[in-house]
Copies of this chain bind each other. A is one copy, B any other.
Amino acid sequence: MDILTQTEENYLKAVFKITENDEKVASTNAIAALMNTSPASVTDMLKRLAGKGFLNYEKHRGVNLSEHGNVLATNLVRKHRLWEVFLVKMLDFSWDKVHDIAEQLEHVQSDELVERLDLFLDRPQFDPHGDPIPDADGKMTMRKQILLSTLAPNNEAVLVGVQESAATFLQYLDKMRLSLGTQLKIIERFEYDGSVKIMLTGGEEITISHKVCENLFVQKTK
């Protein structure tokens, strides 16, 4: 019986997001910060979700997803990203506007809907921010991408994803004419503040801050 409330689903997603990279467990505080709620509320919910078998939880030790919880969370990510593709590709939304709407759409319950949407969109592998879309079995194709901040001068690369997807950041990229697929070459890295001068296709040269570099995923092309 896998009928969770939207709130419960959001908690699972939060744990997923926090633990998907390095972290082994998600802390109460981290979850509270991510969800704009109080640590006390988080503790309550963690106990509920652990009781239902979606989380592994020991007092004061943080949580992570059980196998069952992981399936649920992955499916939510799949739905979220598929809807984002729909919004951008079909409804012509800009990539900085789709997150909030997809947050709502991802909670619609219908396996058949997801399957048909996936088919309609031609089984996309990446969402508008370059994030991989899990397939119906939870598998996703990973790219050998690196952060732009780790790339040495003279290398050439193509922008394939963003780490952060806050609207303000995406709008900044739009202004700079940086979009997924953009080819670029590292001209110079300034050690003083970590900013980097890059050349875009067409020869235009721009300088971007270290913070921006840390939020751009690229693949080396030469």
Interface residues of A (CB under 8 A from B): 87, 90-93, 97, 100-101, 104-105, 107-110, 112-113, 116-117, 120
Contacts and interface: CB of A to CB of B under 8 A. Distances in A.
Nearest to A117: B91
Contact of A112 (B90, B97, B116): B97
A174 to B, nearest CB: 17
A93 B92 CA distance: 23
A101 B113 contact: yes
Contacts of A91: 113, 116-117, 120
Nearest to A92: B116
Given A87-B113, A93-B116, 13 more contacts: A90-B120, A91-B116, A91-B120, A92-B116, A93-B112, A97-B112, A101-B108, A101-B110, A101-B113, A104-B108, A104-B109, A105-B105, A105-B108
The 10 A-B pairs with the shortest beta carbon distances in the complex, nearest first, are A91-B116, A104-B108, A101-B110, A101-B113, A91-B120, A105-B108, A90-B120, A91-B117, A104-B109, A92-B116
A109 B92 CA distance: 18
A5 to B, nearest CB: 11
A100 B101 CA distance: 20
A105 B104 CA distance: 9
13 contacts: A87-B113, A90-B120, A91-B113, A91-B116, A91-B117, A92-B116, A93-B116, A101-B108, A101-B110, A101-B113, A104-B107, A104-B109, A108-B108
